[in-house]
Amino acid sequence: MKICIFGAGAIGGYLAVELALAGNDVCVIARGAHLDAIRKNGLTLLINGQEKNARIPASDNPADFGPQDYVICALKAHQSYESAAQFAPLLGPDTAMVTAMNGIPWWYFYKEGGKFEGRHLESVDAGARQWNLIGPERAIGCVVDPACEVIAPGIIEHHEFNRFILGEPDGSESDRVKTLSEIMKAAHFDAPIRNAIRWNVWLKLWGNVCFNPISALTHATLDQITSGALREICKKAIYETKAVTEALNVFIPEEMIERRLNVAGKAIGHKMSMLQDLERHRSMEIDALVTAVQELGRLTDVPTPTVDILLALVQERGRQAGLY
């Protein structure tokens, strides 16, 4: 099976090594020093006390590889938007695009079945660029649970979890999503298929909508964010996001709020990705995690005052740092 990992960073690199060692025909799109290291030494994965290495074809030019069976996009949402035209050489008639990214996906209203069917979101896909250049019919949803880090060029460290939740936008168990799930399971991933992938997207976003901006604004770690006064701010933002979720006919039990906060609080000392990006002077992923909630709130006439405040503050923080 031909699989291209577009964005072989922390999550993409983890996927690439395990999929390649399981016997798949894997290539990766990377850049800079990371690309140079992969070309020279392969990709190295540090996991469960082991060191795994895979020699994987790597390039910054997708035209080097041609059409694939699956393209797994492991870029951040705004990077995926910026790179939309670059996917073309990888896309054959039946190529599936697996969106292994955080936040509201650009294909959200494709075969969603509600009154906003076919609508694109300006916050994550301005001008419907990805919708038109990639095509929502290619999309397979993917909610990413693993925590990984690029600790040096060409070297990925896996911290915890191995689950990638998969789902078709229309909720079907298509042959292509079943095949992908089996491929991933054979590569030591937990890859369940869900018939309501948007439920899982929203559950993860309930945390990201507040944890990430608060981390960038305060430099607090996840255990600090989910305790005291910051926890109360999180709850306000999550309740607003829950109201937006329900306005879009996705219903997640209220008890999941406390559970989400409590589980997050166990990650002692963990820095959220938005804070990591700020500290490392990398572009900040704000829109898919926070702006999209505001846009969907306005679309459904649901007020989001706490989310609005967090968004305005973190956008300005990003602008001041030259990262947004």
Q: Among 2, 204, 235, 271, which one carries the catalytic annotation? A: 204
Strand order from edge to edge, sheet including 50-54: 50-54, 43-47, 155-160, 147-152
Q: What phi, psi does 177 have (nearest 5°)?
A: -75, -35
Cα dihedral sign, 176-57-8-106: negative
- How many residues are there in the chain? 324
The whole-angstrom separation of Cα 172 and Cα 175 is 9
- 215 near 225, Cβ under 8 Å? yes
Angle at the Cα of 98 from the Cα atoms of 15 and 159, rounded to 5 degrees: 30
Q: Which amino acid is at 270?
A: H
To the nearest 10°, report the CA torsion of 92, 94, 98, 99. Answer: 70
> What are the tokens at 169?
């936008």
- Give catalytic status of residue 111 as yes or no: no
Could you identify the residue written with the tokens 């939740």? Answer: 165
C-alpha distances in angstroms, 80 versus 16, 86, 97, 272?
Answer: 18, 9, 11, 20
Residues catalogued as catalytic: 204
